[in-house]
Chain A
Amino acid sequence: MASKFQVSILPKYCKGCGICVSVCPKQVLALGKDKAQVEHADQCIGCLNCEYHCPDFALTVTEGGNDE
């Protein structure tokens, strides 16, 4: 089932520190080559842990944007 939350990552801002990956309770995020990426978008519960821990303002979690 699609999640009602959408997680977006600005690659231009992301420095690949991996903090977001470590604080996500649902393994939505993973570290790619040198940036974070969304792996399991459907699992997101919108807890905002990732956005609040990101040191680089690279992550935004919004509600209701996954079904366009």
Chain B
Amino acid sequence: MNYKDLLRKDKMPHIWCPGCGHGMVLSAFLRALAKKDFDPDNVAVISGIGCSSRASGYLDFNTLHTTHGRAIPFATGIKMAKPGLKVIVLTGDGDSTAIGGNHLIHAARRNIELTVIVFNNNIYGMTSGQYSPLTPHMKLATTAPYGNIDYPFDLVNLAKGAGATFVARSATVQPRHLEKVIGQGLDHNGFSLIEVITQCPTYFGRKNKMGSPVDMLQWQRENTSTTGKEGTIPLGIFAQEERPEYGENYFELIKTLGEGKSGE
């Protein structure tokens, strides 16, 4: 299957700014998905609100564009009602770690089979550049004109600590690596989270004088590494383990209770 055939052509071109990394994440996701033998009708893509969350609207699957921060609760409901569906959440760093942070940690704790792809551009893009829980210390944002005094979450460690059984990080500058780890996340039986470092040239880039989209990708090239280079942001797979999946436990419990009830 050609990955571009998974787009809703009538909605294209997409609305993202020139050089926005969100389209690169979407492209890698579709390439990863097109390589599997999923029936598109068995895929559900859920998103919240944000530039990144607009992604679901361009996809020719079952899609749901929900409310800010609540993609994971909607996805949880869908997965429990239709366990046979491949349920994927496309979300921003604001959507998933600020307003939606609580949902994220509890879905990870439960190990429900969702593939959550976080488009981490370190900022709220859609609402014009407020800092998020993933904005680095002392970086500039509309709401931090003198620098952000907060310290960011390390999303990989947060997800791991919360119990996610598959955790990876990649970056838009590495489209092949990105496609590969998304593919592995999609195959995982349990909660998977893939953090993707992506560029928002319009707000994060402009506020922090990072230059053009090409310059922002160069920054990624110099400041990320798949081989653990000192002083860089590590990319790779940081957790991959098997633990009973939430839905499996739930349906098993129903079965046991049903058997116990016979004869009443």
A58 to B24, CA, bound (A): 11
Residue of A nearest to B217 (CB): A19
Query: CB-CB < 8 A to A33: which residues of B?
Result: none
Interface size on B, residues (CB 8 A): 24
Interface of B is mostly: helix
Interface range on chain A (Cβ under 8 Å from partner)? 10 to 19
B13 contacts A16, C-beta separation under 8 Å: no
Known A19-B213, A19-B217; judge A54-B13 contact (CB<8 A). Answer: no
Please give, as numbers and ranges, the residues of chain A lying within 8 Å of B17 by CB-CB distance.
15
Q: Are B12 and A52 in contact (CB under 8 A)?
A: no
When chains A and B are docked, how far (Å) is the Cα of A52 from the Cα of B182? 15
Is A15 within 8 A of B18, CB to CB?
Answer: yes
Shortest C-beta distance, B52 to chain A (Å), equals 12
Query: A57 with B24: in contact, given A17-B19, A17-B213, A52-B176 (CB under 8 Å)?
Result: no
- Bitwise interface map of B from 1 to 44 toward A, beta carbon under 8 Å scored 1, else 0: 00010010000111011111111100110010000000000000
The 7 A-B residue pairs whose C-beta atoms are closest, nearest first, are A55-B23, A17-B19, A15-B18, A52-B175, A17-B18, A22-B214, A13-B13
Residues of B within 8 A of A (CB): 4, 7, 12-14, 16-24, 27-28, 31, 175-176, 179, 212-214, 217
